[in-house]
A and B are shown apart, each in its own frame.
Chain A
């Protein structure tokens, strides 16, 4: 084995810098799941009766469902009775009325994560909803957004303040019977973000949610609902971190997007949950259902994800292209190292005429990492002139990792045009030597080549996020000095 290969083999040594624990008094529901726990969560959130009923229906249905086993990941059975389904920082009195009243310990946590909650200190033009374990602790720029009629708040607040909108759209894209983890989420979801952009409004800033798991033995089950009314536009960002713990923690979120006529939603994720240690102990199980409905004509939903964290990632941000001329996009970078496993991809369901979709998936595996792309392109009989272009590229580093591609294509209309391209490559010795001959160190060369490989996806991210994502990839590649 030569120097460069050894350098690649040593990829596993960089530290997870978000692994700290916040010492804060928590209110946690004892582990276990039954109807009483669900009633308790609902009561804590002062939810209306219809929502409690919806949760309970989901729970009863969940009890009848087996855990899915088709996915190409391996993990010991999850004991759903050993998980606590609700954890929240204890609040004094009624909870914070404004950003100034947030517990200083929480404020410090977000500062350490590089997410200052004070508006003046924030990235210009980004409004943040901070979700800590099961509750949203702060949402910034609410006032400014409200002037345009934009609603950006925690899900719990939306249930209280805008029940008609929540009731109208909740479960319309991901019904509670959708899949095992979505059903579980529907029963026990705690908090998340809610966004509504009124007709004709272009949201003037990036909206972002920062998810943080802190408590041990808890699951995070957030639910996000974004509605772009006719002619509206919004760009939404999502970031996530968690402390280092030896046990695995479950994160089963649901995200629903609805785009009406001429509306456009851009949803970007940089997922950096704790991936577990170099031996594969601990880490987050990231079992997430994300789906967007292009309900109106000429609507567009674009998913961009950079998945670098989690012990296991299982998610398929999808688009249902119902409106005529609607457009769905999926841009993904998934990186696995050590013993991380990722099974990710998308579904593009073409229903309307002239619907178009684009899939660009980049998988990077190193160490013992396993990376699978799983995607479905389905053209229904109604989808005249539908088009899809898919491109799945895998990059392997070292000889212990794996890349797998499972593309499913179902075409039921003869006018459809569907293209699929796939490639698997290694960082070649030739590329490394070429960089080194120009003076670039092996580590920088690997980083340069990997970032080049991801470029098509990174360019879809909003500027600050693209820089963040690039840094994150570099961090993940650290330790590859040759």
Chain B
């Protein structure tokens, strides 16, 4: 469902992505690991269409459509979701109101009527239970005054309500304690299904104990230097990334 071919991208004129090839089929969960500055978040932002991330070469197709031609909101309406590494605060806008606006924006794009209030209420409460979120979080302004953990939980909550077809989680696990980590994993696992794809970006192997990936890729200096299954994550945990940094030319590539 997501095909990335020879993707090169720059940020402020600096080349960060250096020719990425990655294919994610429906139902698959891919994890991307790599050291700081390797381009993990850049990849997430390029996929979501953030300003300032310039694609200089290559293409991304989403269900066969040219993703790079779409505005960020169109990508979202097409079913792409990004769980932000640093969720943004929007003062004065209630979490619930924001979520409803998002749900209705997507429905409008699909020529569907606005969500029924009762249906929405039921869905919200079901999902809140799933991610163990307090009722009071609905009335609070989007991410305002949330702790780091609450923000990440809110991202996953939004994801489970919006039910995207493809979700990118950008270091959603960083800064979380083990309980919060499980909650994040529960959210992802609840959505996991034959129609959905996930790209889980993480620094640590820990998250992958709970979200078991089908494939693991190692990103170094803007390239995928190695791909494998879950065991690769464990290997990385032990050996670190130094090996790849020193000898990028020797990197093996395994088609996913």
Q: Which residues of A contact B (CB under 8 A)?
A: 2-4, 428-431, 433-442, 444, 448-449, 451-456, 482
Contacts of B234 in A (CB 8 A): none
Decide if B93 touches A434 in the complex (CB within 8 Å).
no
Contacts of B128 in A (CB 8 A): none
Please list the 10 inter-chain residue pairs (A to B) with the smallest Cβ-Cβ separation, ordered nearest first.
Answer: A452-B92, A452-B93, A455-B92, A438-B102, A439-B76, A439-B105, A434-B88, A436-B72, A436-B73, A439-B106
Of the A-B pairs whose beta carbons lie under 8 Å apart in the complex, a sample of 30, sorted by A's number, is A3-B51, A3-B71, A430-B88, A435-B98, A436-B76, A437-B48, A437-B72, A437-B84, A438-B102, A438-B105, A438-B162, A439-B76, A439-B102, A439-B105, A439-B109, A439-B162, A440-B101, A440-B102, A440-B105, A441-B73, A444-B101, A448-B93, A448-B98, A448-B101, A449-B93, A451-B92, A452-B92, A454-B92, A456-B92, A482-B71
B178 at the interface (CB under 8 A from A): no
Decide if A434 touches B87 in the complex (CB within 8 Å).
yes
A361 CB to nearest chain B CB (Å): 15
Give which listed residue, B82, B90, B92, B109, contacts A437 with CB less than 8 A.
Answer: B82
Q: How far is the CA of A440 from the CA of B52 in the complex (A)?
A: 19
Q: How far is the CA of A438 from the CA of B75 in the complex (A)?
A: 9
Decide if B73 touches A453 in the complex (CB within 8 Å).
no
Task: Mark interface residues in B35-73 (1 if CB within 8 Å of A CB, else 0).
Answer: 000000000000011111000000000000000000111
Decide if A442 touches B73 in the complex (CB within 8 Å).
yes
Most chain A CB neighbours (cut-off 10 Å) among B75, B82, B89, B93: B93
Task: Kindly report which residue of chain A lies nearest to residue B50, judged by CB atoms.
Answer: A433
Decide if B141 touches A452 in the complex (CB within 8 Å).
yes
B77 at the interface (CB under 8 A from A): yes
Decide if B51 touches A439 in the complex (CB within 8 Å).
no
A450 CB to nearest chain B CB (Å): 9
Contacts of A3 in B (CB 8 A): 51, 71
B202 at the interface (CB under 8 A from A): no
Decide if B71 touches A434 in the complex (CB within 8 Å).
no
Contacts of B101 in A (CB 8 A): 438, 440, 444, 448
Q: Which residues of B contact A (CB under 8 A)?
A: 48-52, 71-73, 75-77, 81-82, 84, 87-93, 98, 101-102, 105-106, 109, 141, 158, 162
Decide if B91 touches A453 in the complex (CB within 8 Å).
yes
Decide if A453 touches B92 in the complex (CB within 8 Å).
yes
Contacts of B90 in A (CB 8 A): 431, 434-435, 448-449, 452
Q: How far is the CA of A431 from the CA of B88 in the complex (A)?
A: 6
A89 CB to nearest chain B CB (Å): 43
Give which listed residue, B51, B76, B81, B87, contacts A429 with CB less than 8 A.
Answer: B51
Contacts of B84 in A (CB 8 A): 434, 437
Contacts of A433 in B (CB 8 A): 48, 50-51, 72, 88
Q: A3-B51, A438-B76 are known; give 15 further A-B pairs, CB within 8 A.
A: A2-B52, A4-B51, A433-B72, A433-B88, A434-B87, A435-B98, A437-B81, A438-B105, A439-B106, A439-B109, A448-B93, A448-B98, A448-B101, A452-B90, A454-B92
Contacts of B50 in A (CB 8 A): 433
Q: How far is the CA of A433 from the CA of B71 in the complex (A)?
A: 10
Given the interface pairs A3-B51, A437-B82, the reply to whether A452 lies near B73 with Cβ below 8 Å is no
Q: How far is the CA of A441 from the CA of B93 in the complex (A)?
A: 16
Q: How far is the CA of A435 from the CA of B88 in the complex (A)?
A: 9
Q: How far is the CA of A442 from the CA of B213 in the complex (A)?
A: 35
Contacts of B81 in A (CB 8 A): 437
Contacts of B98 in A (CB 8 A): 435, 438, 448
Contacts of B71 in A (CB 8 A): 3, 436, 482
Contacts of A453 in B (CB 8 A): 91-92
Given the interface pairs A429-B51, A444-B105, A448-B101, the reply to whether A437 lies near B93 with Cβ below 8 Å is no
Contacts of B73 in A (CB 8 A): 436-437, 439-442
Task: Kindly report which residue of chain B lies nearest to residue A440, judged by CB atoms.
Answer: B105
B256 CB to nearest chain A CB (Å): 25
Q: How far is the CA of A430 from the CA of B105 in the complex (A)?
A: 19
Task: Kindly report which residue of chain A lies nearest to residue B158, judged by CB atoms.
Answer: A438
Q: How far is the CA of A4 from the CA of B89 in the complex (A)?
A: 18
Task: Kindly report which residue of chain A lies nearest to residue B109, judged by CB atoms.
Answer: A439
Q: How far is the CA of A59 from the CA of B235 in the complex (A)?
A: 90
Contacts of A444 in B (CB 8 A): 101, 105
Contacts of A431 in B (CB 8 A): 88-90
